[in-house]
Amino acid sequence: MAERTYDIVLFGATGFTGRLTAQYLARHAPAGCRWALAGRNRAKLAAVRDELAGIDPGLADLPLLEADVTDPASLAAVASGSRVVVSTVGPYLRYGEPLVAACAQAGTDYLDLTGEPEFVDLMYARYHRRAVASGARLIHCCGFDSVPHDLGALFTVGLLPEDVPIAVEGVVRAGGRPSAGTVHSAVTALSRARDASAAARSRRQLEQRPADRKARAVRTGPRRGKNLWLLPLPTIDPQVVARSARALPRYGPDFHYSHYAGVRSLPVAVASVLGIATLAGLVQLPPARRALLNRFAPGTGPSAEQRAAGWFKVRFTGTGGGHRVVTEVAGGEPGYDETAKMLAESALCVAFDDLPATAGQLTPAVAMGQPLIDRLTRAGIAFRVLEQS
């Protein structure tokens, strides 16, 4: 790996979130970091590089690598020439597999932003064993799905006693607009419920779970919390947290996690539930699905001023061994700015930090854990203890 040409290659840098990730790396990659941009259109890559040179003139000669998901040889060249490959090209179910395959084959660490359960399960079934053999780390969900939730649960568990049953509840509140990529991924997932179930079954047949410990994501209905209405979130985040708990004994002998959106107003809560149910029905109809996706063109997003008004807070309540702790992970606009920060810091963490020796498909908490919490804290994402008893 040390003999490879690049430390980090960013694939998909011409997209909206990819461009923000490139800008973050331009400002925060350490001196001596050997990185490059990759994509199918060299002219568009060159335009991004020109923008980066405005941040750091030393990036005027940043390497550009032409690669396309329809050209396996080009992806193999990217994977074999880099220690870490980062992908922002979604929906991943449509575009992601060839790059995962190339990295698993080449023993190259791979990170992405996916929140698509079917994609993650299929990649486990098809490439986990190959990645274990080659030494590659395949780390999905390195953006708002699911870094704050996965690392927030890890942070919370670390404040509770060891070797006791632990329950953690996460409640998400946020202000901002979802990214076009997130909308496309969510619509794709909702329209493929049967396929997603089949992929999950395939994974369960292959996945080895600990025999002496239990860890699960708990599904419940909407309910009234202390100050908020709690609506179960049909996202990948609870699955990611439960997988981290199965892999790490620190979560205790019996761990369960529940995940909600927090809403203050009952009418808004009711409208949200009805809206999700209506959306799930509409996206089963191809014309309605196409019309919805056409309203969110990939590569577009809100202005810097609009993003500056965004925010997120994820509050965790953990109990175990007679103790209770309330923590919070909080930051700025989640769909774009903070997602780009999380992905870029994850890539820098994998490339340069002293991490456990792991391989195969991993969660952010298992692959990076406390070193990534430390990085994100320094980058302005808060991990706070609010109550402890």
Q: What is the pLDDT of residues 28-51, one digit of tens each?
A: 999 999 999 999 999 999 999 999
Distance CA 152, CA 155 (A): 5
Using CA atoms, how far residue 76 sits from 69, 72, 100, 108, 140, in Å, is 10, 6, 10, 10, 19
Distance CA 259, CA 244 (A): 15
**Model pTM?**
0.94
Quote the pLDDT of residue 179: 66
Residue 276 pLDDT more than 90?
no
Distance CA 311, CA 338 (A): 9
Residue 348 pLDDT more than 80?
yes
pLDDT tens sequence across 282-334:
778 788 778 777 777 666 778 888 889 999 999 999 999 999 999 999 999 99
CA within 13 Å, CB half, 94: 12
- Judge whether 312 and 176 are in contact, CB under 8 Å: yes
The packing angle between helices 16-28 and 42-55, to 10°, is: 40
Among 71, 69, 72, 73, which Cα is nearest to 94's? 69
**DSSP string for 44-105:** HHHHHHHHHHHH-GGGGG--EEE--TT-HHHHHHHHHTEEEEEE--S-HHHHTHHHHHHHHH
β-bridge partners, 172: 261, 314
Average pLDDT of 100-120? 97
Query: How high is the mean pLDDT of the chain?
Result: 92
Distance CA 104, CA 324 (A): 41
Residue 154, H or E segment: helix 147-157
Distance CA 166, CA 354 (A): 28
Q: How confident is the model at residue 182 (pLDDT cuts 50, 70, 90)?
A: low
% residues pLDDT > 70 (the chain): 96
- Judge whether 114 and 124 are in contact, CB under 8 Å: no
Residue 1 pLDDT more than 70?
no
Over its C-alpha atoms, the chain yields an Rg (Å, rounded) of 20
Average pLDDT of 145-158? 97
Quote the pLDDT of residue 219: 86
Residue 106 pLDDT more than 90?
yes
φ, ψ for residue 283, nearest 5 deg = -70, -5
Q: Which long-range contacts (CB under 8 A, 24 or more apart) does 45-51 make?
A: 45/13, 45/14, 47/14, 48/13, 48/14, 48/19, 48/22, 51/19, 51/23
Quote the pLDDT of residue 181: 66
> In one letter, which amino acid is 92?
Y
Distance CA 193, CA 347 (A): 31
Q: How confident is the model at residue 2 (pLDDT cuts 50, 70, 90)?
A: low
- In 18-42, which positions are buried (b, 16+ CB within 10 angstroms) versus exposed (e)? bbbbbbbbbeebeeeeebbbbbbee
pLDDT tens sequence across 70-87:
999 999 999 999 999 999
Average pLDDT of 193-215? 92
Average pLDDT of 151-161? 98
The encoded tokens of residue 356 equal 């456990």
